[in-house]
Amino acid sequence: MTMHITDIQIDTSNMPAPTPEIEQERRVAIFDLLEENSFVLPSRYGRTPPDGPYHLALAIRDKRLVFSVATQETELAAEFHLSLSPFRQVVKDYWQICESYYSAVKKLPAAQIEAIDMARRGIHNEGARVLQERLEGKAEIDTDTARRLFTLICVLHFGN
């Protein structure tokens, strides 16, 4: 029984073209996520979900974050919709600190860049914690998986 994600798709339709920085964040998050992740679908409503590995599609529909999880054979294993409200402030804070970081890299000394990066990691960890809480009972993910998925949620938020 393999409980991880082997493919991820992000619905970027209806989104503006990403900046080079946002595109880079997306590419790195997907690469890191596919290299190593933990994604377990628990039994729900008395039903045991199909075994993984899984394909994950992320989208924003009707102002809700949609996780669509399918098996390798494209059988729908789970779909859950999360309110975006709990993510709004942390996503906003994350993008603000990222902008500061991207700007700092171009002109500030290493010590100042490191301080901004520490703040960015702190906000990233907070976003991962919120995601783990919101997925409770729907999917079990480790902290690194939550961090990478939070980055992808931020990318989706960029266009909404």
What's the pLDDT tens digit per position in 94-104?
Answer: 988 888 888 88
Domain count, the chain: 1
**Region label for 109, one of left (φ > 0), alpha (ψ between -120 and 50) or beta (otherwise):** beta
Beta strands in 11-63, from DSSP E residues, in sequence order = 39-40, 54-61
* Contact criterion met (CB below 8 Å) for 91 and 154: yes
- pTM for the complete prediction? 0.89
Strand 76-83 relative to strand 5-10, pairing: unpaired
Provide the residue range defining the domain that includes 96. 5-158
Residues 140-152 pLDDT 10s: 999 999 999 999 9
Q: Is the pLDDT of residue 70 over 70?
A: yes
Q: How far is CA 100 from CA 22, 121, 159, in A?
A: 14, 13, 20
Query: Mapping DSSP to helix (H, G, I), strand (E, B) and coil, where does residue 149 land?
Result: helix
Helix (H) or strand (E) holding 121: helix 110-134
Instruction: State the residue for tokens 């993510």.
Output: 87
